[in-house]
Amino acid sequence: MGVLHAGNLTRRVGCAEVGWVIDTAAERAEQTACELGSAWTTDLDRALEDPTVEGVLLATPTNLHAEMVERSLAAGKHVFCEKPLTLELETTLRLIDQADAAGLVLQVGFHRRFDPDWLAMARWSEAGELGQALIFRASQRDMVAPESTEFLASFGGLFVDAVIHDLDCARWLVGEVNEVQAHGASLSSPTYGELGDADNALVVLHFACGALGVIDYSRTAGYGYECSAEILGARGTIRLGANQQSHDVRWLRHGVQSVDHPLDHQHRHAAAYLAEVEHFAEAIQGSPPAGATGEDVVQAFVLAQASARSLLAGHPVRVESGSREREAAS
Ligand SMILES: NC(=O)c1ccc[n+]([C@@H]2O[C@H](COP(=O)([O-])OP(=O)(O)OC[C@H]3O[C@@H](n4cnc5c(N)ncnc54)[C@H](O)[C@@H]3O)[C@@H](O)[C@H]2O)c1
């Protein structure tokens, strides 16, 4: 993700310049810096000491976010951090407070909030033409599950790492969620189950407004990447389809029509990934906030943690809006 964001900032965001590429993998840092015409280092502090650096974009393994965000804010830099902000609620709250107190931007990578399709869905939903919301559905599918145990140990598990996007969208589009119940299976490798995680999962949601929701997630959908959703309302339905592509090429034979699928999230969400870093650069220059607020970041994380706990506990977990989850009687 770091290479993607740095490339977007350098080549496509007029008001931004990438001063440093930082990666403990020196070869990767040097190669990326060379391509972008930036300086490079393996040590974040070198960049933090540079007074011309105004903002830091962090796309390191998730278990490193907390410490790196804290150091960057302490150095007076604005921060864009990939999601999830941290792996602990207390730390998440503390960093948001730290940024607020210092008057610094702390943007978290909930890129769908900048995606044209999801934004259109939000506009329709906010316009009130759906009538009462009845059912929210979201599907997210990756083609191939990550195999490395290093990834599994450092990214926080399926719900906190990935389903968090759908949970954030559920709140954004329908409203607060009171209860989650997760089901999961470890189908591509027993490792997921051994770690208390899953590679395929369902989360059933109960919204405060009375609507129901269901999210399905697969890390092992061999056909391609999918990110689709629907809000079923009493007067209308908004549906975000599965095949969003920048082109529309179909293969037609008698009785058969096939459509290409995005390969992965970078392919599907290219516009959103650009728009979110463009916003970060503009926010540093004082443009009004957009995307997920600190409260959104916290609540999406609370729901993700509640889902992970529900999977382990085998029963629903209640979530009080604005507070921590508590387990529902099974
Ligand atoms: N928003 C999204 O759609 C999305 C998609 C994928 C990943 N992510 C998030 O992005 C983050 C990175 O994920 P990724 O898939 O790009 O991981 P990655 O493993 O591909 O890249 C992480 C990079 O960080 C470097 N690194 C490790 N420790 C470091 C340190 N101490 N200092 C500097 N560099 C260090 C690694 O060498 C590596 O190049 C994660 O938090 C992940 O959740 C978000």
**Model confidence pLDDT, tens digit, residues 58-90:** 999 999 999 999 999 999 999 999 999 999 999
Rounded to the nearest angstrom, the distance between the alpha carbon of 59 and the centre of ligand 1 is 4
* Ligand 1, atom nearest to 155 Cα: 43
Rounded to the nearest angstrom, the distance between the alpha carbon of 211 and the centre of ligand 1 is 35
Answer yes or no: are the C-beta atoms of 297 and 110 closer than 8 Å: yes
Look-up of token digits 């990935």: 162
**Closest to 217 (Cα-Cα) out of 226, 209, 208:** 226
Look-up of token digits 């999918």: 226
Q: What is the C-alpha to C-alpha distance for residues 285 and 17, in angstroms, rounded to an integer?
A: 13
Rounded to the nearest angstrom, the distance between the alpha carbon of 133 and the centre of ligand 1 is 36
Rounded to the nearest angstrom, the distance between the alpha carbon of 7 and the centre of ligand 1 is 15
Strands (E), 109-249: 133-141, 177-185, 200-207, 212-218, 226-233, 237-240
The closest residue, in CA terms, to atom 34 on ligand 1 is 23
Tens digits of residue pLDDT in 166-197: 999 999 999 999 999 999 999 999 989 998 89
Alpha helices in the chain (DSSP H): 2-12, 26-36, 44-48, 65-74, 89-102, 116-126, 149-154, 157-158, 164-173, 190-194, 265-268, 270-284, 294-313
Q: Can you give the pLDDT at residue 58?
A: 98
Q: What is the C-alpha to C-alpha distance for residues 282 and 13, in angstroms, rounded to an integer?
A: 9
* Region class of 157: left (phi > 0), else alpha (psi between -120 and 50), else beta: left
The closest residue, in CA terms, to atom 24 on ligand 1 is 60
Pocket test for ligand 1, best of 5, 22, 23 (most atoms within 8 A of CB): 23
Residues in contact with ligand 1 (CB, 6 Å cut-off): 1-2, 22-25, 28, 44, 59-62, 64, 82-83, 109, 111, 155, 161, 265
**Closest to 282 (Cα-Cα) out of 155, 148, 105:** 105
Q: Can you give the pLDDT at residue 146?
A: 86
Q: Can you give the pLDDT at residue 152?
A: 84
Pairing verdict, β 177-185 and 200-207: antiparallel
pLDDT in tens, the chain (330 residues): 999 999 999 999 999 999 999 999 999 999 999 999 999 999 999 999 999 999 999 999 999 999 999 999 999 999 999 999 999 999 999 999 999 999 999 999 999 999 999 999 999 999 998 999 999 999 999 998 887 878 888 999 999 999 999 999 999 999 999 999 999 999 999 989 998 899 999 999 999 999 999 999 999 999 999 999 999 999 999 999 886 665 667 789 999 988 878 889 999 999 999 999 999 999 999 999 999 999 999 999 999 999 999 999 999 999 986 554 444 443
Token pair of 201 as six digits: 């999962």
Rounded to the nearest angstrom, the distance between the alpha carbon of 61 and the centre of ligand 1 is 4
The closest residue, in CA terms, to atom 15 on ligand 1 is 1
Q: Can you give the pLDDT at residue 322?
A: 55
